[in-house]
Amino acid sequence: MSNHCDLTWFNGEIMPFNKATTNVMSHALHYGSGVFEGIKCYKTHSGPALFKLDSHINRLYASAEVYKIDIPYSFEEIKQGCLDLVQHNNIDNGYIRPIAFYSYDSLAIHPKECPITVSIAAFYWGAYLGQDALKNGISVTISPWKKFHSSSFPTTAKACGQYLNSLLAVRDAKDKGYDEALLLNQEGTIAEGAGQNIFLVKDGELFTNTEDSSILMGITRDTIIQLAKNNDINVNICRLSLEQLFNADEAFFTGTASEVTPISIVDGLIINNGKPGPLTKKLQRLYLDIVHGKIKIYNNWLTYTSYNNHCSKSKELKIYDI
């Protein structure tokens, strides 16, 4: 049974999901030449709200710039498209996926005159690794696949083709009976999960790795760093070794889809007796309260769909004629 919403934003129009299609000769289908974002919408007492919407759209444009994908819509139009999609699909809790990619003109590696297609889809995607994972933690294996180096791909860009690296890692993990993979970088230090950043806890302090560790600079990662500092938790940003992981008091993944997911087992090694630790639970609780609009001082991280009523820069909405 599909979990996608009935309506999709496609090249500036709201249309039925099945009408938003692309050519099988699209450059992106053959070469992965696209960039995307993942944004969560949460139910709050003030209505649906998208978490750190501006940050996600800014990163979409930054990723596009790296690959010279000239998105033919303004920041405000993409932002408004996300909000319109939430409203027209009557979403309370959902996942929003904007994507910009080269469609068909040429199948040469150089995209030449390939037009840029932009789409925003919405669907229900609960906790990425399951509600039980948020409560009890997950098992992780060190992947035999290394995370690509920044000299091979721009690690800070969220680009479609780059995720083949993650696909290989997570399929290997699943085949071995683990919930998720953890990739090392070319230097042999810890990079990240297949789709998440990682944090370690030792003696009440938080540790996460640096940009030069071949990681995506996650928006949830940045959120957790800010929350830790705001709560007088010391944050160390440095390269992370496997030894640090194996000796950690706690460990957890962060990501838009994964939220704050505790790690309980790494290649058979049990962390914190196999249970989420106190600092992990504290930060997870804070994060979930914030995204659901329960902590007012962080409401500036939420964009409520009421924004739609006073966005003067957006163009008149087009609705596809069914």
196 and 250 within one domain: yes
Question: Which residues belong to the active site?
Answer: 158
Go through the chain and tell me how many residues it has: 322
Strands 269-270 and 39-42, sheet pairing = unpaired
Q: Are 43 and 83 members of one domain? A: yes
Q: What angle do CA 279, 282, 287 make, to 5 degrees?
A: 125
Query: pLDDT at position 158, please?
Result: 97
d(CA 55, CA 70): 18
pLDDT of residue 316: 44
Report how far residue 162's alpha carbon sits from residue 177's, in angstroms, rounded to the nearest whole number: 24
Do both 120 and 136 map to the same domain? no
Q: Looking at the domain assignment, is residue 2 inside a domain?
A: no
DSSP string, 197-250: EEEEEETTEEEE--GGGT----HHHHHHHHHHHHTT--EEES---HHHHHT-SE
Handedness of CA 250, 251, 254, 258 (dihedral sign): negative
63: DSSP letter: H
Mapping DSSP to helix (H, G, I), strand (E, B) and coil, where does residue 62 land?
helix
Closest listed residue to residue 200, CA positions, set 240, 233, 231, 146? 240
Assigned domain for 256 exists = yes
Same domain? 173 vs 276:
yes
pLDDT score, position 200: 98
Strand partners, 15: 8
Provide the residue range defining the domain that includes 67. Answer: 7-126+300-319
User: pLDDT tens track of the chain, all 322 residues?
Assistant: 358 889 999 999 999 999 999 999 999 999 999 999 999 999 999 999 999 999 999 999 999 999 999 999 999 999 999 999 999 999 999 999 999 999 999 999 999 999 999 999 999 887 788 779 999 999 999 999 999 999 999 999 999 999 999 999 999 999 999 999 999 999 999 999 999 999 999 999 999 999 999 999 999 999 999 999 999 999 999 999 999 999 999 999 999 999 999 999 999 999 999 999 999 999 999 999 999 999 999 999 999 987 554 443 344 445 444 3
